[in-house]
Amino acid sequence: MSLDKLQIIPLGGLGEFGMNCCAIRYGDHILVIDAGLMFPDEELLGVDIVVPDIGYLVENREQVKAILLTHGHEDHIGGLPWILTELRDVPVYGTEFTLAYVEGKLEEHKLLDDTEMLEMIPGEQFQIGPFRIQPIRVTHSLVDCVSLAIHTPVGTILHTGDFKVDLASPDGHPFDLQAFAELGRNGGVLALLQDSTNVDRPGHTPSELAVRPRLDEIFGRTKKRLFFSCFSSSIHRLKLAFELADKHDRKVAVIGRSLDNSTEIATDLGYIDIPPGILINGGQIKDYPPEKVCVLISGTQGEPMSALSRAAVDNHKHARIEPGDTVLLSSRIIPGNEKGIFRMIDHLVRRDANVIFDDGTQGIIHVSGHASQEELRLMINLVKPKYFIPVHGDYRHLKRHAELAASTGIPKQTFLLEDGDVLELTRDSATRRDKVRAGRILIDDGSTADVVDDLVIRDRRHLSEAGLLLPILAINKLTGLVEGAPEIIARGFAVPDPSILTEARQVIARTLDASSNEEKGDYGVIKEKIRTDLKRYIQKNTSRRPLIMPVILEI
C-alpha cells in the first residue's frame, strides 16, 4: 500500500446486528477494532454462535498489530477466542472492565496464557506503529466503554463503538463531550464510523437514572418476594438494585452464573458497592420472610435453561416463585426472542406472579444504551467529519443513518459500506476499492474448533422440513445376492398411505433387478441408483423430498 493511503475494511457488523469487527490498515500495519459474535437465527439449526470470517486478516497475519476493544458486550468481544485461535500472538487492548470480561472468556478457551492483554485508560493516548490511539470515555448500558480516535498520517479516524450521551452516568464517569469537541476544534476528523442501532428513534435516549423512580416504586409496593431480572452486563442496573434493596430493607440473593460473574467483577473493580450484610446465598432465601427478599436472577430473554425460565416451571433448586411474588424484567425484548419470553411470562402468570416487563405501558423500567437521532447529530456536529460511515446495524439502519448524516450538511460524503468493502482514504479523497473476503463462520457448541459449513446447515434444514428415509439392504458378500426384502426406515417423514412404503420397496427391487452384477458389486454405484429412483418415486407420489440415505449391510 502507498503510505499516503489508509484503508477502512469492515469485516462484520454492517448489514447485521452483532459480529462487529473492523480493520484499519496503513501500509504494513493493521489494527482490528472489536471482535464480536452474533447469535444464530432460527434458520441456523444447531449452530451455537456466528463469528466474522477473518480470512483477510489470516492472509495478512504478519501485518495485524493489535485488536482494540471498545467495550465488553458479546457482540464486540464474543468472537475473540475464534479470532485469536486463527491469529496467534496478537495483543488485545481494552479498558479494565472489558479485559476482566475477556479474561474469563479466554481462560474458558485455554487461550489466556498465550494472549497479551494491555489496558487502555480513557484519555491516555498510546502508539501502535504509525497509529496514535486516543480512547475517549463514552456512556452505554455497560461500564468502562470507549470510542477510539485513531490518529494516522492521513488524518483522524473516529470509531464511536456503542454509545449514548449520558452526562449523569451512575458510575460517576459521564460522556466526555469535551474530548469530542476538541477533535472538532482541531480541524475535525477525516472519517466518522458511528453506531446506527437507534437511528430510527427521534429525540434523545434517556439517562440510566431515568429508571430509578419507577424501580423505587416497584420495590416499595411489592408485598412479597421481588425477582429482579436484567441483562448480566447491565452493571448500572445491578448497582441500582442493590441500592434499592438496601433502602427497602431487603436481603439480596444473586441467582445465575452470568449475573454472579458480572456482580463479582463489578464489585472487585469498584463499580458496585454492596452494603454490608445484605448479600445472602440462594439456599438462604427460604430463611427470610418473603417481603424481606430480593432475588437478582438471570434469564430476561426466556433462554430455556436460564435460572428464571427454570424457576417459572418450578424447576430451580433455590428460586421458588409463589402466588403474589413480583417478577420484574428490567430489560428490552430483543427481536427474535419474543416467543421464548412470552412463553416464560405465561408460566409465571400461571403461578399467580405479578409480572412487570417493558411493554410501553408500565413506566420506564429499562432504557437503551444507544444514541437516538439528536445524539447522533450532536456527535456529527462536534467532530465535523469529512467522510461518514454508518456501522452496527441492518442495511436499512445504515441507509437511514447515512441520510441523517447528510441532512446535517457537515460530511463531504457518506459511504454505505457492507462487510468486505474497502474504503481507501487520502487526506483529500475517499475511494471504494475491490472487496476482500468477508462473511460468517458458523460454530457448533461454543467450541472454536467445531466450524459448520453451509452444506451442513442445508442438510439440517432439509431434515427438519422433509425428514429422512433409510433404505436398508443386506447383501451376501460371497454371492453378491440381496438377502431378503429391503427395509425402509422413516424418521420425520409422515407417510400419507402405508402402501407408499410397500411400493417403495418394490421400486428398490426393480432397481436391483435392472442392475448388472458389476453395478451391484460397487456399493457406491448401487446406492446412488437406489437413491435416484426412490427420490423420483417419493417426490411424484407425495410431493415431498426427504433426505434419502441407502444403507448396505454385508453379511
Beta-strand runs (E) in 69-219:
92-94, 117-119, 126-128, 131-138, 145-151, 156-159, 191-195
- The answer on pLDDT for 184 being more than 70 is yes
Radius of gyration, CA atoms only, the chain: 29
Cell numbers representing residue 298 in the block: 438471570
Is 452 marked as binding a ligand?
no
Topology of the domain comprising 467-554 = Ubiquitin-like (UB roll) (3.10.20)
From the list 316, 347, 370, 397, the catalytic residue is 370
pLDDT at residue 69, as a whole number: 98
pLDDT at 130 (0 to 100): 96
pLDDT in tens, 400-422: 999 999 999 999 999 999 999 99
Residue 446, pLDDT > 60, answer: no
Average pLDDT (92-97) is 97
Whether 467-554 and 6-204+368-452 are alike in CATH topology: the answer is no
**The three cell numbers locating residue 401:** 443513518
C-alpha cell of 451? 466450524
Is the pTM of the predicted complex or chain greater than 0.75?
yes
CA torsion angle 94 298 338 343 (round to 10): 160
Any binding-site annotation on 48?
Answer: yes
Q: Strand order in 64-68's β-sheet?
A: 117-119, 92-94, 64-68, 29-33, 21-26, 6-12, 422-425, 430-433
- In the annotation, is 401 catalytic? no
φ/ψ bin of 253: left (φ > 0), alpha (ψ from -120 to 50), beta (otherwise)? beta
CA distance 408 to 425: 22
Determine whether the annotation assigns residue 46 to a binding site.
yes
More confidently predicted of 527 and 175: 175
pLDDT at residue 80 in the model: 95
Q: How far is CA 60 from CA 25, 27, 57, 182, 314, in A?
A: 11, 12, 5, 34, 53
Strands (E), 256-318: 279-280, 293-297
What lies within 8 Å, CB to CB, of 271 at 6+ separation is: 97, 143, 144, 171, 235, 239
Q: Work out the average pLDDT over 111-132.
A: 96
**CA angle 242–243–248, rounded 5-degree value:** 95
Q: What separation in angstroms does the CA of 398 have from each of 352, 390, 393, 473?
A: 44, 5, 6, 56
204 assigned ligand-binding residue:
no
Stronger pLDDT, 502 or 148, i.e. the higher one: 148
Give me the catalytic one of 34, 195, 419, 533.
195
Mean per-residue pLDDT for 348-368? 87
DSSP H helical segments within 248-312, as ranges?
Answer: 257-268, 307-312
The overall average pLDDT reported for the chain is: 90
Determine if residue 162 is labeled as part of a ligand binding site. yes
pLDDT in tens, 45-65: 556 678 899 999 999 999 999
Question: Quick one: DSSP state of residue 107?
Answer: H
Q: Is 368 annotated as a binding residue?
A: yes
CATH for 6-204+368-452, options being 3.60.15.10, 3.40.309.10, 3.30.70.270, 3.30.360.10: 3.60.15.10
Per-residue burial over 266-289, b if 16 or more Cβ lie within 10 Å, else e, is bbeeebbebeeeebbebeebeeee
| pLDDT given for residue 450 in this prediction | 59
Query: Is residue 464 over pLDDT 80?
Result: no
CA torsion through residues 232, 233, 239, 244, sign: negative
pLDDT beyond 60 at 248: yes
Is residue 389 over pLDDT 70? yes
Q: DSSP letter for 480, please.
A: -
Note whether 195 and 370 are within 8 A (CB): yes
The response to whether 282 counts as a known ligand-binding position is no
Closest of 335, 168, 181 to residue 236, by C-alpha: 168
pLDDT at 363 over 80: no
Q: For 10-35, what is the mean pLDDT?
A: 95
> Cα angle vertex 207, ends 174, 75, to 5°?
80
What cell numbers appear for 469 in the block?
Answer: 428415509
Quick check: is 195 catalytic? yes
The whole-number average pLDDT for the span 183-203 is 95
Does the domain at residues 208-356 carry the CATH identifier 3.40.50.300? no
pLDDT at 262 over 90: yes
Segment 335-344 mean pLDDT: 85
Residue 94 labeled ligand binder: no
Q: Is the pLDDT of residue 519 over 80?
A: no
Q: Can you tell me the mean pLDDT for 255-264?
A: 94
pLDDT > 90: percent of the chain: 68
Distance CA(329)–CA(521), nearest Å, equals 64
Does the annotation flag 370 for ligand binding? Answer: yes
pLDDT class of 544 with cuts at 50, 70, 90: confident
Residue 42's pLDDT is what?
Answer: 58
Q: Is 89 annotated as a binding residue?
A: no
> Is 359 annotated as ligand-binding?
no
325 is in an annotated binding site: no
User: What nine digits make up the cell of 220?
Assistant: 416499595
- 285 pLDDT band (50/70/90 cuts)? very high
Extents of the domains making up the chain:
6-204+368-452, 208-356, 467-554
Residue 255 has pLDDT above 60, yes or no: yes
Tell me the pLDDT band of 19, cut-offs 50, 70 and 90.
very high
Instruction: Give 32-47 pLDDT, tens digit per residue.
Output: 999 999 877 655 555 6
Between CA 274 and CA 352, with CA 330 as vertex, the angle to 5 degrees is: 105
In which residue are the cell numbers 453395478 written? 519
Of the chain, the percentage scoring pLDDT greater than 70 comes to 92
3-state secondary structure of 133: strand
| pLDDT tier at 375, thresholds 50, 70, 90 | very high
